[in-house]
């Protein structure tokens, strides 16, 4: 570190001794910042000046009318609204003047309201709808951003027309509703009275019907009681008839027995008493005739009793069936009475509710309808919803929003300016025995001091401009850290690869502007840039400045700064460790460029010729064999060198033309073809560099073979000291 500090002090003294050198350094401090200051100021609030963008408006609308909305002229309403609108520079011209204004570039766009515009709007009420159209003419040649703003104007006009038409229709409808509500209120009052009267009449009928049903139930109950009594009488009759039947059966038996006895007595009388018994015979005959008449009479009576018993049985069955039917009828009448009672109760509730409802809610609703304000309703329907915006991390000035990008660009440009105007190689004047790493860190320290001053100047200017920030200290320190990270990357590339490294620094800044989400969200960019987004230092530098400008979100700031530290660490690894492996490639470029006598001469590579230790050892061990093997490699290469070089160039050009043609044939994949085109150029470049590197190493090997032994030993000692 002591030698690094000595290199820094020596370089500062050299600058201080030359006043004009300090002027150049002063320019390097301010010039990159001017880029940020001018751009931030220019972009501070560009959309506040959109009223200066001239837009022509032509109103040809003839108006229209119908029974729904009456007379309407949306074109006139639109013009009236636009005259109160300061978002854009509206100019109301004739159709011919408007077209001339757009073609000449005096106006960026023109809107024409056709003559049938209002009529087309009203056609929606006729069933034969014609889509109304506004004619929009835009001049995209004058400016790339202006058409996007005038497109916003087209949306504004569309919104204004919609609002005007909606407001007109809504006002008409609201007026009709209010007038209809007044009539409905009167009709409803009359209807309410009539309905309540009808319900009361129905309730009276139901009460009367229930009384009738009650009387009918009483009669059915009496009838059933009579049937039950009849059934008891029939039972008693059946018992009497049964007794009579038994008695008659006994009489018939006695008559038959009497007839038998009379016949026997008559025989005995005839046989025993022939003489003097004539009277007895006549008496027995008379008795027998009389017995035959009970017997006949009792049989007839018995048959009649049996017939009456059968009739009584059938009558009892009929009475029982009638009683069951009367019981079912009584049950049905009871259910009907209960239902009517429920209906009667509901009718009373309905009458009460209707009276309450009619007196409170419904009439209040109708009263609300009759008190409608058509203009208020129209205004509401024209804009039914308002967005209540809550801005997180508010950043009102557009310049502050763009500040993150321009600050990072200035820091990158500032670091690049330093590697362009100041030498990268470090001499050993006053400080002998410097190692390559000490030289690297010593010159980087000088660049770092200037980069810190650049960042401070940039931050002070941004504070004076009024760029938003949440903390002055963070707003000043963050650009310093970002600038040092960018310097580390650019310095490592430039020292390690010389002119190629500086070219890579330019390519990086070109790719990072669209690929690091500086202007548009990365999600809007092609997939090619989205895939590279995480590998750009700008990605994290811009996000870190956004945190400082608009507000910190958790640990995001430290994550971004940590990623920048990773880039810086990789840059130091390249410059301090890997650099010596690319030394001969860098020497090749600087040698070739120096030969043109047009470029500034600066090696930018470790000191020495670039000889390899193993080549020197082989030459010392057996020079003849070393040169023989070298000759076998160098002669075929020398013969084919031009052919190979021309072939690489021809193949490279052919591949470029093929990829260009394919990109035109398949426009949907143009970004992918552009990526392949760039990759192809890199491959061709690598092939040419590899060819020249082989040629260069063969030349170095030949120099080793031609060196005297004493020189070889000196080179070996120098190479060993640097390992």
- What's the mean per-residue pLDDT of the chain? 76
Residue pair 536/512 in contact (Cβ under 8 Å)? The answer is yes
What is the band of 529 on the pLDDT scale with cuts at 50, 70, 90?
confident
Least confident of 316-320, 498-502, 522-526: 316-320
Where do the domains of the chain lie?
1-45+407-596, 46-143, 169-369, 608-723
At 237-264, the pLDDT tens digits run: 666 556 656 665 665 666 566 556 556 6
- Per-residue pLDDT tens digits for 122-170: 776 666 767 778 788 888 776 666 666 666 656 665 566 556 545 555 5
Secondary element (H or E) of residue 66: strand 64-66
> Alpha helices, DSSP H only, in 360-388?
361-370, 374-382
Among 327, 93, 340, 371, CA closest to 223: 327
Q: CA-CA distance, 427 to 547, in Å (whole number)?
A: 42
What's the alpha-carbon Rg for the chain, to the nearest Å? 61
The tokens for 251 are 């009489």
Report whether 57 contacts 481 (CB < 8 A).
Answer: no
Compare 704 and 98 and report the one with higher pLDDT: 98
Question: What's the rounded Cα separation, in Å, for the pair 16 and 95?
Answer: 69
- In whole angstroms, give the CA distance from residue 221 to residue 209: 18
Could you tell me how many residues make up the chain?
A: 723
Q: For 585, phi and psi rounded to 5 degrees?
A: -65, -45
**What is the spatial distance between Cα 720 and Cα 612, in angstroms, rounded to a whole number?**
10
Structure tokens at 184: 């409905």
Higher pLDDT, 365 or 675: 675
Find the mean pLDDT for residues 217-236: 64
272 to each of 258, 269, 285, 438, 690, how far by Cα in Å?
20, 5, 16, 192, 183
Residue 276 has a pLDDT of 47
What phi, psi does 397 have (nearest 5°)? -80, 130
Q: Are 127 and 106 in contact (CB under 8 A)?
A: no
Inform me whether the pLDDT recorded for 416 exceeds 50.
Answer: yes
Pair 157, 134: CB distance under 8 Å: yes
Detail the DSSP E strand segments found in 115-251.
135-138
Say if residues 467 and 44 touch (Cβ distance below 8 Å): no
pLDDT of residue 657: 92
| 353-357, 461-465, 480-484: range with highest mean pLDDT | 480-484
Please check the confidence at residue 531 and state whether its pLDDT lies above 80. Answer: yes
How far apart (Å, rounded) are the C-alpha atoms in residues 668 and 674? 12
Using CA atoms, how far apart are residues 541 and 482, in angstroms rounded to an integer? 6
C-alpha to C-alpha distance for 393 and 10, rounded to whole angstroms: 47
Read off the pLDDT band of 354 (50, 70, 90).
Answer: low
Q: What is the DSSP string of 562-620?
A: HHHHHHHHHHHHIIIIIGGGGHHHHHHHHHHHHHHTSSPP---S-SS----HHHHHHHH
Helices 2-17 and 436-465: angle between axes, nearest 10 degrees: 60
- Residue 426 pLDDT exceeds 70: yes
Q: For 63-85, what is each residue's pLDDT tens digit? A: 888 766 567 788 888 788 778 87
Q: Which of 350-364, 389-403, 608-622 has the lowest mean pLDDT?
A: 350-364
Percent of all residues in the chain with a pLDDT value above 90, rounded to a whole number: 20
User: Which H or E run includes 275?
Assistant: none
Query: Exposure string (b/e) for 27-64, b if CB count within 10 Å is 16 or more?
Result: ebbeebbebbbebbeebbeeeeebeebbbbbbbebebb
Rounded Cα–Cα distance for residues 28 and 298 (Å): 161
- The residue among 247, 249, 285, 290 whose CA lies nearest residue 269 is 285
CA atoms within 13 A on the CB side of 295: 14
Q: How confident is the model at residue 275 (pLDDT cuts 50, 70, 90)?
A: very low
Burial class (CB in 10 A: 0-12, 13-18, 19+), 254: middle
pTM beyond cutoff 0.75: no
Distance (Å, whole) CA 539 – CA 508: 12
Summarised one tens digit per residue, pLDDT across range 56-65 is: 889 999 988 8
Q: Is the pLDDT of residue 277 over 50?
A: no
3-class SS shares of the chain: helix, strand, coil, % to 5: 80, 5, 15
- CB-based contacts of 686, cutoff 8 Å, min separation 6: none
Which whole number is the average pLDDT over 657-668?
Answer: 87
Question: What angle (nearest 5°) sits at the alpha carbon of residue 123, between those of residues 119 and 124?
Answer: 135
Report d(CA 574, CA 607) in Å as an integer: 17
pLDDT value at 328 more than 70: no
* Res 558 pLDDT > 70: yes
| pLDDT computed for residue 361 by the predictor | 47
Confidence check: pLDDT of 339 > 50: yes
Beta-carbon contacts of 660 under 8 Å, excluding residues fewer than 6 positions away, are: 673, 677
54: enclosing H helix or E strand: strand 54-59
**How many separate helices (H) and strands (E) can be counted in the chain?**
21, 6
What 3-state class would DSSP assign to 718?
helix
Lowest mean pLDDT among 416-420, 493-497, 607-611: 607-611
More confident residue, 699 or 593: 699
Q: State pLDDT tens for residues 678-709.
A: 889 889 988 988 888 888 888 888 888 888 88
Q: Which of 196-200, 358-362, 548-552 has the lowest mean pLDDT?
A: 358-362
Q: How many CB atoms lie within 10 A of CB 504?
A: 16
Residue 560 has pLDDT above 90, yes or no: yes
SS3 133: coil
- The answer to which of 134-138, 286-290, 388-392, 456-460 has the lowest mean pLDDT is 286-290
Residue 414 clears pLDDT 70, i.e. is over it: yes
Look at 335 and 442; give whichever has higher pLDDT. Answer: 442
Q: pLDDT-based confidence at 173, cuts 50/70/90?
A: very low
pLDDT exceeds cutoff 50 at 273 = no
Q: What is the pLDDT of residue 601?
A: 59
Encoded tokens for 133: 């159209």
The domain covering 169-369 belongs, at the CATH homologous superfamily level, to Methyl-accepting chemotaxis protein (1.10.287.950)
The whole-number pLDDT of residue 429 equals: 81
Range name among 6-20, 332-346, 648-662, 682-696 with the lowest pLDDT average: 332-346
**pLDDT for 6:** 87
What is the pLDDT at residue 675?
A: 77
The Cα-based distances of 245 to 298, 316, 416 in angstroms read 9, 20, 148
Of 685, 473, 450, 485, the C-alpha closest to 589 is 685
């Amino acid at each position: 570190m002591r030698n690094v500090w000595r290199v820094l002090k020596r370089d500062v003294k050299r600058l201080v001794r030359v006043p004009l050198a300090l002027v150049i350094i002063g320019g390097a401090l301010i010039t990159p910042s001017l880029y940020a200051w001018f751009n931030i100021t220019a972009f501070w609030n560009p959309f506040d000046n959109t009223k200066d963008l001239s837009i022509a408006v032509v109103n040809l609308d003839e108006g229209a009318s119908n029974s729904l909305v009456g007379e309407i002229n949306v074109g006139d309403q639109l013009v009236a609204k636009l005259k109160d609108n300061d978002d854009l520079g509206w100019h109301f011209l004739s159709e011919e003047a408007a077209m001339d204004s757009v073609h000449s570039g005096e106006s960026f766009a023109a809107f024409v309201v056709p003559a049938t515009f209002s009529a087309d709007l009203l056609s929606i009420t006729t069933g034969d709808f014609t889509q109304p159209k506004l004619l929009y003419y835009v001049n995209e040649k004058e400016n790339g951003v202006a058409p996007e703003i005038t497109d916003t104007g087209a949306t504004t006009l569309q919104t204004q027309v919609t609002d005007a038409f909606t407001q007109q229709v809504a006002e008409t409808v609201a007026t009709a509703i209010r007038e209809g509500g007044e009539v409905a209120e009167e009709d409803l009052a009359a209807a309410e009275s009539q309905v309540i009267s009808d319900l009361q009449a129905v309730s009276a009928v139901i009460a009367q019907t229930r009384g009738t049903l009650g009387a009918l139930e009483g009669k059915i109950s009496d009838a059933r009681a009579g049937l039950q009594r009849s059934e008891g009488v029939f039972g008693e009759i059946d018992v009497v008839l049964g007794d009579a039947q038994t008695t008659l059966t006994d009489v018939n038996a006695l008559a038959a027995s009497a007839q038998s006895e009379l016949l026997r007595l008559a025989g005995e009388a005839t046989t025993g008493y022939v003489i003097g018994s004539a009277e007895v015979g006549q008496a027995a005959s008379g008795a027998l005739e009389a017995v035959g008449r009970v017997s006949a009479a009792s049989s007839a009576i018995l048959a009649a009793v049996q017939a009456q018993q059968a009739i009584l049985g059938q009558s009892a069955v009929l009475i029982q069936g009638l009683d069951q039917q009367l019981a079912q009828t009584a049950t049905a009448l009871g259910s009907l009475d209960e239902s009517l009672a429920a209906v009667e109760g509901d009718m009373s509730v309905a009458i009460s509710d209707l009276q309450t409802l009619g007196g409170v809610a419904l009439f209040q609703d109708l009263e609300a309808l009759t008190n409608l304000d058509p203009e208020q309703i129209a205004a509401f329907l024209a804009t039914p919803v308002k967005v209540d915006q809550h801005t997180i991390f508010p950043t009102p000035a557009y310049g502050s929003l763009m500040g993150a990008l321009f600050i990072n660009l200035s820091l990158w440009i500032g670091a690049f300016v330093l590697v362009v105007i100041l030498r990268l190689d470090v001499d050993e004047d006053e400080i002998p025995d410097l190692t390559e790493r000490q030289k690297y860190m010593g010159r980087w320290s000088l660049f770092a001091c200037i980069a810190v001053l650049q960042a401070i100047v940039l931050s002070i200017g941004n504070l004076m401009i009024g760029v938003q920030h949440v903390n002055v200290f963070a707003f000043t320190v963050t650009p310093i850290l970002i600038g040092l990270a960018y310097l580390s990357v650019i310095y490592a590339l430039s020292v390690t690869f010389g002119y190629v490294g500086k070219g890579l620094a330019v390519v990086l800044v070109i790719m990072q502007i669209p690929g690091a989400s500086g202007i548009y969200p990365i999600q809007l960019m092609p997939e090619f840039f989205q895939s590279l987004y995480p590998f750009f230092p700008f990605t994290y530098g811009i996000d870190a400045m956004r945190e400082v400008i608009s507000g910190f979100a958790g640990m995001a700031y430290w994550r971004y700064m940590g990623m920048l530290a990773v880039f810086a660490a990789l840059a130091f690894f390249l410059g301090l460790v890997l650099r010596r492996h690319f030394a001969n490639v860098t020497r090749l470029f600087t040698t070739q460029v120096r030969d043109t006598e047009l470029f500034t001469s600066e090696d930018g590579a470790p000191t020495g010729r670039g000889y390899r230790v193993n080549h020197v050892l082989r030459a010392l061990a057996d020079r003849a064999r070393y040169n023989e093997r070298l000759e076998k490699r160098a002669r075929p290469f020398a013969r084919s060198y031009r052919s190979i070089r021309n072939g690489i160039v021809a193949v490279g050009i052919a591949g470029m033309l093929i990829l260009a043609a394919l990109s035109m044939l398949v426009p949907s994949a143009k970004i992918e073809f552009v990526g392949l085109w760039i990759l192809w150029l890199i491959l061709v470049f690598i092939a040419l560099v590899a060819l020249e590197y082989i040629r260069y190493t063969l030349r170095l090997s030949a120099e080793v073979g031609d060196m005297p032994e004493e020189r070889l030993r000196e080179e070996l000692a120098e190479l060993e000291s640097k390992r």
